[in-house]
Amino acid sequence: MIVKFVKCHGSGNDFPLIDARDIVLDDAGWARVARALADRAGDVGGDGLLLLTPCDDENIFGMRMFNPDGSEAETCLNGLRCTARLGFEVTGTDAGQVRLKQSAAQARAVAPIAAGVTTIETKVGPVSLVPGDVGLTGGAAPFVDAPIPGLPSDRAFTAVAMPNPHLVAFVDAVDEGELVTLGDWCEAGPALIPARANVSFVELRETGHAPALFVRTYERGVGLTDSCGSAMAASTLAAARTGRIGWGVETRVFNRGGMVRATAAVGDIVTIAGNATFEWDGEIEVDPATGAVGALRILGRREEEVAAWDAMLAGL
């Protein structure tokens, strides 16, 4: 089949995004499409595949996200902003509830975080700190800034389901080798957390009225990544839960891909405002039965959007 898509990114987390509202394809087929299109060795590449899916009685549209390995994520907040933008454009709306795999989120278009940078705000929660919801097979009480028995690390973690599982540790300085070692262990699906988990090391870089976090994440199904939206949200919540930032205080959250503005509210609800940048439009033939792809055709480039994002990064 020939699919049209938008190559987009949220905070540097990049994806092909397909309007799949009228496409009938089973999960195995979408998994093969995701592995083909998100392959960094291919013509498109990405941190996964985003799908805009139809509305229902409670949601103005839906989103699905498949990782590069073909697994489906419960959510992807950087991808949600991009998907919501496309959904708003094709439905003529600017706010509403979006269906995710196992939950829903509120999304709306808001004022740009920088000149020319299309910005979407998402609100998720209440999220869960119940160990079973995070996928941990041990422990009854939430792990909040505490060691997790059975994890091959002595660090204190906060375990939170966004609803995808996150383990967040605050560090003085990120050690990528340590992060990758722990991420690889979780990626193997050990008995402690058989569905795997996203692991983040977080630096608190500023405090007071203008706090800032720097987040480095090993993403489930992806590996070490420059950006993970749900990890930024989980880190913001963990910072509030542990008293490192205040509840209701807007926080700048950085990663190697860019920056978002995040707020954690009492009741474990997290709001994030960040970019939803469309880079170019394309179409490609892909066989869902085999994952074979044909030649890529670029239909148009969004050069002004790319330039606006680059200007924002230069000013950080």
Torsion of CA 175, 176, 181, 186, to 10 degrees: 100
**3-state SS class at 46:** coil
How far is residue 156's CA from residue 149's CA, in Å, rounded to a whole number?
10
Whether 228 is catalytic is yes
Burial 148-173, CB ≥16 within 10 A → b, else e: beebebebebbbbbbbbbbbbbbbee
Q: Which residues contact 145 (CB under 8 A, 6 or more apart)?
A: 156, 157, 158, 170, 238, 241, 242
Among 8, 55, 76, 186, the one annotated catalytic: 76
Amino acid present at 44: V
Instruction: Give yes or no for a contact between 289 and 29, defined as CB atoms under 8 angstroms apart.
Output: yes
76 is catalytic: yes
Strands (E), the chain: 2-10, 13-19, 49-53, 61-66, 72-73, 95-99, 104-110, 119-124, 158-161, 165-170, 198-206, 212-219, 223-225, 251-255, 258-265, 269-275, 277-286, 293-301
SS3 47: coil
The beta strands (E) that lie in 82-173 are given as 95-99, 104-110, 119-124, 158-161, 165-170
Give the SS3 label for residue 215: strand
CB 79 within 8 A of CB 106: no
**What are the angstrom distances between the C-alpha of 136 and each of 170, 196, 252?**
20, 9, 29
Residues identified as active-site? 76, 228
